[in-house]
Amino acid sequence: MKRTIQSLAVITALFSNIYADDLSDMKAQIDVLSKKVVSLEKKQKRTNKTLSKVKKHEANDNIKFGIDFRNAVDVLEYKDNKSGESVSNSSLLTSRLYLTMAASPMDGLIFKGKLAIYSIWGAHAYYSGVSQPSLKDWAASSKATDTVMRVKEAYFVYSNSIGSQPISVSIGRRPSTNGFLANYRENEKTSGSPLAHITNMEVNGAMVKLSWSRFVDGAYTKLVYGRAHSGEMENVYGTGSNPWGPYAQGNSVGNSDVDFFVLLGDAYNNGQYQLAYQWAHIFNTKGKRLSDGQKKAAAGTADLAALSFKVDGIGDEISDFLDETTLFASLAGTQYNPKDGYSLLGSTGSQTGYSYWLGAVIPDGMTDAGKFGFEYNHGSKYWTPMTWAEDTASGSKIAVRGNAYEAYWNFDLFGVKYLPSQIRYTYAQHDYTPNVNCAGWVTPKAEDITSSDLRFAVSYRY
């Protein structure tokens, strides 16, 4: 028995020594591995930091491009109820391509741009405003000719603070089309900068933005100064009778620069309720000179103002339908003031016009993101806003001198968010001469003209 116990003691001691040696070796190996892991973690952190710097540098050194490609067919009809004359187009086919650009080389500085091509299928190509019947628009890009891609937007914005006051400055061609409220009828989620009720056209200008959101939710003010028209500059290439003065303006009386000043912003915006305002003053707006009847002369000034209110979501979680419903209303006015010896809108005295615009956008109840929209516009005899870029083939319904009714369905084709599509119907009753290009030299006269535009459009946006 003693021998057995002694044998077991010997075996136990032997295994204890072996186990102790193994534990010592394992501990040493673990210590080595731990040091390697710590070393690898440090290397990984350095690598990640380097990659982050590289990615940030590469992102800042590149321009991000986007695409907005729309194809549409419009069914147009016009009727002069006084004369009984009518004209129509059963299929106006158009393609519009926007190539968008964005870059941010440093914090607080961004650049944005948009190149545009907007063409009618099978139409003649135009160069320098001259029709080229031998060259169709679809053939121009395949021939060695003077094909033009136009700049719709190009501007930079620099943002910083002066003490506790946030401030931004910007110069360039502004994002001034499809502004506040017009973006719904254009099936665009975000709007341009101005209030579309009085401004819907490309403008070149310099902007200063002051944020007041630390005092009132979402409040800000923008101050914009720009030029809409340069006075006559003959012989800009230094040829003809004035070879020594390129780009200098001649002495053509009344043909002066048309500059503008705009003050706009949000008085309040908490995401659900938004109240926006805008006032614009135009210097040397175009009218008619009385002495010789010259049209498009610098005839005086114009003032335009609008106040627009939007409710994005009715109540507070009453129902999904009301949460996704948008209502808006806008009131605007214009006043044209001719100077001595000139007329504006056919009058030698000030003429005031007004307009109101109502709209509702509701879920379609059939698709995930689809919306139905309904809008109504009314304008008086002298209502004359700056809405050249209004994208309605039958003319600007926002500028209607009379009544305009519009309904549309915005939806994603096949449920694909990159294929926003629209069916839209616009009907306008023009009680006075339709406003075209903010034409101050045209006298509004009583009319009875109706127009309609049924549009089917599909876009690719990415």
Residues of the chain with pLDDT under 50: 2, 14-15
What's the token pair of residue 433? 């001469």
Angle at the Cα of 386 (from 383 to 390), degrees rounded to 5?
105
pLDDT of residue 31: 73
Residue 314 carries which side chain, given as an amino acid letter? I
pLDDT of residue 388: 83
pLDDT of residue 244: 64
Closest CA to 346 of 441, 432, 427, 418: 441
Phi (first) and psi of residue 436, to 5 degrees:
-125, 125
Bridge partners, residue 205, by sequence? 172, 226
Closest CA to 175 of 269, 271, 264: 264
> Using an 8 Å Cβ cutoff, are 412 and 420 in contact?
yes
Enter the pTM of the model.
Answer: 0.82
How far apart, in Å, do the first and last CA atoms of the chain sit?
90
Q: 66-461, superfamily in CATH? A: Porin (2.40.160.10)
What's the token pair of residue 4? 């057995």
pLDDT of residue 13: 55
Residue-wise pLDDT tens digits, 33-72 = 777 776 777 667 667 766 665 555 555 568 899 999 999 9
- What are the structural domain ranges in the chain? 32-62, 66-461
DSSP class of residue 291 equals: T
List all residues 6 or more positions away from 302 whose beta carbon is below 8 Å from its beta carbon. Answer: 281, 282, 285, 334, 335, 336, 337, 344, 384, 440
Torsion of CA 441, 443, 448, 452, to 10 degrees: 20
Whole-number percent of the chain with pLDDT over 70: 78
Rg, C-alpha atoms of the chain = 33
Angstrom distance (rounded) from CA 112 to CA 109: 10
Residue 211 carries which side chain, given as an amino acid letter? S
